[in-house]
Amino acid sequence: MDLLSKGWAVSLLLCWFFVVVSCNSVEKKIYVNLNYTVSCVRLLNATHQIGCQSSLSGNVGVLHVLESEENLDWVLHSGPNPPYMVILESPLFTRSIMMKLKNGSSRVAGVAVVAPNTNPAAGFSPHTKCPNENTGVYSVKYDPAMAHCNKTLWNPLGNGLSYEEFDFPIFSLKDDNETQVIRQCYLDHNRAMNGSSLQYPLCAMQLYSHMSAVTDTATCMRRNDINFSINPEIVCDALGDYNVWASTRPLNNTAKGHKMWESVVIAAARLDSRSFFFDIAPGAESGVSGFVTLLAAAHALRNATQEAQPNRTILYTFFQGETFDYIGSSRMVYDMENKQFALDLDNVHSVLEIGQVGLRADSRLWLHSDPVSRRNNSVNEEVKGLIAKLHSAATGLSVSVQEPSFSQPLPPSSFQRFLRARPIPGIVIEDHQSAFTNRFYESMYDNAEYLNVSYPPNLSPEEQLEFVTDTAKALTEVATVVARALYTQAGGEEPQLSSIKADPQIVTQMLYSFLVQSNNSWFQQLIPSDLKSHLTNRPPNYYVGVAQQSSEPTLLVQHLLANLTGRTVNITQENCQNQREDENDKESKHMYSYMWVQGVAPPNGTEREGYCIRSTVRLSKALSPAFDLRQYTSDDYSTWTESRWKSIKGRIFLVASHELEMLTLGVGVGVLLTSLLLTYIISSKADILFSSGREPTNATY
Ligand SMILES: *[C@@H]1O[C@H](CO)[C@@H](O)[C@H](O)[C@H]1NC(C)=O
Ligand SMILES: *[C@@H]1O[C@H](CO)[C@@H](O)[C@H](O)[C@H]1NC(C)=O
Ligand SMILES: *[C@@H]1O[C@H](CO)[C@@H](O)[C@H](O)[C@H]1NC(C)=O
Ligand SMILES: *[C@@H]1O[C@H](CO)[C@@H](O)[C@H](O)[C@H]1NC(C)=O
Ligand SMILES: *[C@@H]1O[C@H](CO)[C@@H](O)[C@H](O)[C@H]1NC(C)=O
Ligand SMILES: *[C@@H]1O[C@H](CO)[C@@H](O)[C@H](O)[C@H]1NC(C)=O
Ligand SMILES: *[C@@H]1O[C@H](CO)[C@@H](O)[C@H](O)[C@H]1NC(C)=O
Ligand SMILES: *[C@@H]1O[C@H](CO)[C@@H](O)[C@H](O)[C@H]1NC(C)=O
Ligand SMILES: *[C@@H]1O[C@H](CO)[C@@H](O)[C@H](O)[C@H]1NC(C)=O
Ligand SMILES: *[C@@H]1O[C@H](CO)[C@@H](O)[C@H](O)[C@H]1NC(C)=O
Ligand SMILES: *[C@@H]1O[C@H](CO)[C@@H](O)[C@H](O)[C@H]1NC(C)=O
Ligand SMILES: *[C@@H]1O[C@H](CO)[C@@H](O)[C@H](O)[C@H]1NC(C)=O
């Protein structure tokens, strides 16, 4: 009797063991987790929510690979197994199809777009046709004929998809083996042959991207406040980051507001970009071409501005969050108006902004200016002077500069936010005369390939870093024009000009680092060791993100600008990190910033020898003033917030028919109850069952 019951207990345990093991392997067969999940997320402004989201437990749908727009009927009307998870090849990711799916959203569980490995031939821009339509200078009040891009539609290819709201998740898939698994699953299980009905099990996909925030920014900020007092759970965060700036003469950054005798020429570019999907914003033409040009110009001016200091200071500024209603520039102007910045607007002499300059037809640059402020004579004279300086800066170079027609307003640009405050003379340099040349504005295709940054085959990453591409040579010319024009605009002497030249080697290294991969030997030298983890083997993502900390692009530009405009100083690491030249120094932190960077890695693998860089590089907040003022319905300032989420993930699996699912569930529950009962019996009778002590170790299992 004793032996029998022991044997029974052992076999029960064995049986249990097998059930558990086989359950696990079944689960592995059924679920394939997607490893690459790039999703569209929810953003909110004063009045709307845009973007996508799933339900709390993820949206599940039967896979359907859409073959053409006509094929939509299956998804929207005739298919027998709704809701569907629609797989789109990128040519079908159009406004027309997406709006039909949006309209039929009761039968659509979600969408997965297969991103191609090479850029499409046709243009594609999910942005609006008139970027930042309501927050630039061209309001109806400023000039009714120029409001709402009435004169020039800057982004005619814009289909506005990035500003639509979808109540299902939308993911992007790379076209690789993972996507092949999905296609195969569809072909094996879901493809209806000659109209015959489908056989279960079917291949399904589940996408999770549940968003916490709803309705608009005011609503979610109110919820943040309520939650804060009861249980601190934030549902949305303001978009924002940090602007990067530096000056050719040190400015006391502790003393805010107006500086006597200071007159600055602002040289501006924007840092950020976006695409339909949250994690991909390569911004090659829309952002990188401009800020790399400005960085190269700043480098070219380092010697000239230190040897023969021109009368005016040049202020290099790199604005963050410009995509979302000019977050960075509107904040800097606000800070200047409110004595929160090292300078005020009275110190600003003029503005030279570098826009999109990577795609020049016939090497032509276009000098855009604001016709409204130029109606004022003195502004007009200054603008004409700056144009003349740009013309003479370009002589002898393979770049030509031209003006578009006098009556054309400015393209979307940070300078517009300065003009909103007062009529400051300025020019925006672009590669387009009227509408953008950029066919992929604010899309995932605005990448290295589009800017023609490519390398001969068989180069190692380090060789690619050093290889001077044609794009780099061309941008170097632009940087030289910008540097020379800035120098004369700041009051420097003309004869100095020919010695001011941008360096193609530096430009090519920047293009590689900002468009191909930031993790390379050059950037490793330029950053402090605690920021190493920010370097990646991908191009950085230029989406602005939320304000808590500065993003990867901001950090990289900050440290690079310090290297390109600063000096190394021979001081200890401790003094460097304490922002001083020596123990007794209490003043220099007002004028300079100090960074201890890693330095070169010696080839024999010993420790890097770090050193200290002294520069005038600073960060300033790029958070919309609307959030400091708590004006969440502001018309003047950006009100964009990003919803929080718990997880973004996806998986595919086979679903049985509904009846079979119910049967499986019933059996599962039955097994569970039985085993619970058995466990209860065994444990309550344990002293009887196992009374004769432990089995010897040679027991058979
Ligand atoms: C939206 O769907 C409804 C039926 O569900 C249809 O009547 C209507 O025409 C559709 N609208 C658009 C814009 O496609
Ligand atoms: C836009 O321009 C057209 C002519 O170019 C004019 O008729 C129309 O009134 C303008 N619209 C606005 C809102 O100013
Ligand atoms: C908010 O975004 C929506 C969608 O892009 C836009 O139509 C609306 O004008 C924006 N509201 C404000 C106040 O900017
Ligand atoms: C993808 O599949 C191809 C051929 O089926 C194979 O050669 C390749 O190694 C696979 N790539 C990955 C990353 O699994
Ligand atoms: C995801 O990665 C895991 C491990 O790297 C792999 O086993 C699995 O097949 C991948 N999923 C897909 C869909 O390729
Ligand atoms: C589907 O129809 C085509 C011709 O209409 C036929 O050649 C093919 O064999 C059919 N396939 C199946 C699975 O019935
Ligand atoms: C900078 O400004 C601060 C605050 O006004 C002042 O205490 C400091 O002495 C100034 N430093 C220099 C070098 O001007
Ligand atoms: C700046 O000056 C240093 C030494 O005076 C020289 O080595 C360097 O090449 C110059 N840089 C540029 C960009 O002219
Ligand atoms: C720069 O300032 C000096 C002295 O303040 C003056 O003599 C000189 O003419 C100025 N140069 C220019 C180009 O304004
Ligand atoms: C900038 O970085 C280079 C290495 O790429 C280094 O040789 C140089 O000394 C650095 N300059 C400064 C001012 O830090
Ligand atoms: C840096 O300073 C230390 C101590 O003051 C000195 O020994 C060293 O030679 C200096 N290095 C350079 C490159 O000037
Ligand atoms: C590594 O190289 C550095 C400089 O080239 C040298 O000073 C050091 O002695 C070398 N260390 C070893 C272990 O070879």
Ligand 5: does its nearest atom lie under 6 Å from the Cβ of 174?
Answer: no
The pLDDT score that the predictor gives to residue 27 is 41
3-state secondary structure of 258: coil
Tokens of 568: 């190394």
The pLDDT score that the predictor gives to residue 168 is 97
How far away, in angstroms, is 250 Cα from ligand 7 center?
Answer: 12
CATH of segment(s) 240-565: 3.40.630
- Residue 230 falls in which region: left (phi positive, over 0), alpha (psi -120 to 50) or beta: alpha
Q: In this predicted model, what pLDDT tens digit does every residue of 208-257 receive, in sequence order?
A: 999 999 899 999 998 888 755 666 678 999 999 999 999 999 999 999 99
Q: In this predicted model, what pLDDT tens digit does every residue of 313-353 receive, in sequence order?
A: 999 999 999 999 999 999 999 999 999 999 999 999 999 99
For the CA of 196, the nearest ligand: 6
User: Up-side HSE of residue 646: CA atoms within 13 Å toward CB?
Assistant: 10
| Ligand 6, pocket residues at CB < 6 Å | 193-194
Atom of ligand 9 nearest to the CA of 311: 1
How far away, in angstroms, is 60 Cα from ligand 3 center?
Answer: 31
The pLDDT score that the predictor gives to residue 360 is 82
For the CA of 148, the nearest ligand: 2
Q: Buried (b) or exposed (e) across 383-399, using 16+ Cβ within 10 A?
A: beebbebbbebbeebeb
Ligand 8: does its nearest atom lie under 6 Å from the Cβ of 691?
Answer: no
How far away, in angstroms, is 587 Cα from ligand 6 center?
Answer: 85
Q: In this predicted model, what pLDDT tens digit does every residue of 496-527 receive, in sequence order?
A: 788 999 999 999 999 999 999 999 999 999 99
d(CA 33, CA 27): 11
How far away, in angstroms, is 635 Cα from ligand 3 center?
Answer: 10
d(CA 551, CA 545): 8
d(CA 182, CA 200): 17
Domain ranges of the chain: 27-124+159-235+648-658, 240-565, 567-615
Averaged pLDDT in 10-residue chunks for the chain of 701 residues: 50 46 43 88 96 95 93 91 93 96 95 94 96 96 94 96 97 88 88 68 93 93 75 86 97 96 96 95 96 98 90 97 97 97 97 94 92 96 97 94 93 97 97 96 96 95 96 97 96 87 97 96 95 92 87 95 97 95 92 95 86 97 96 95 94 74 65 78 66 41 40
The pLDDT score that the predictor gives to residue 656 is 74
The pLDDT score that the predictor gives to residue 196 is 63
For the CA of 608, the nearest ligand: 12
Residue nearest to atom 8 of ligand 1 (CA): 103
Ligand 7: does its nearest atom lie under 6 Å from the Cβ of 252?
Answer: yes
Atom of ligand 1 nearest to the CA of 103: 1
For the CA of 257, the nearest ligand: 7
| Ligand 3, pocket residues at CB < 6 Å | 45-48, 50, 134, 163
d(CA 639, CA 403): 34
The pLDDT score that the predictor gives to residue 255 is 96
d(CA 235, CA 646): 10
Q: What is this structure's pTM?
A: 0.88
How far away, in angstroms, is 167 Cα from ligand 5 center?
Answer: 28
The pLDDT score that the predictor gives to residue 308 is 82
d(CA 623, CA 611): 32
Ligand 7: does its nearest atom lie under 6 Å from the Cβ of 585?
Answer: no
**Ligand 9 pocket test: which of 309, 311, 489 has the largest number of ligand atoms within 8 Å of its C-beta?**
311
For the CA of 617, the nearest ligand: 10
How far away, in angstroms, is 176 Cα from ligand 4 center?
Answer: 8
Q: Where are the beta strands (DSSP E) in 26-175?
A: 32-33, 38-39, 43-44, 49-50, 59-65, 84-89, 108-115, 170-174
Helices 470-489 + 504-515 axis angle, to 10: 110
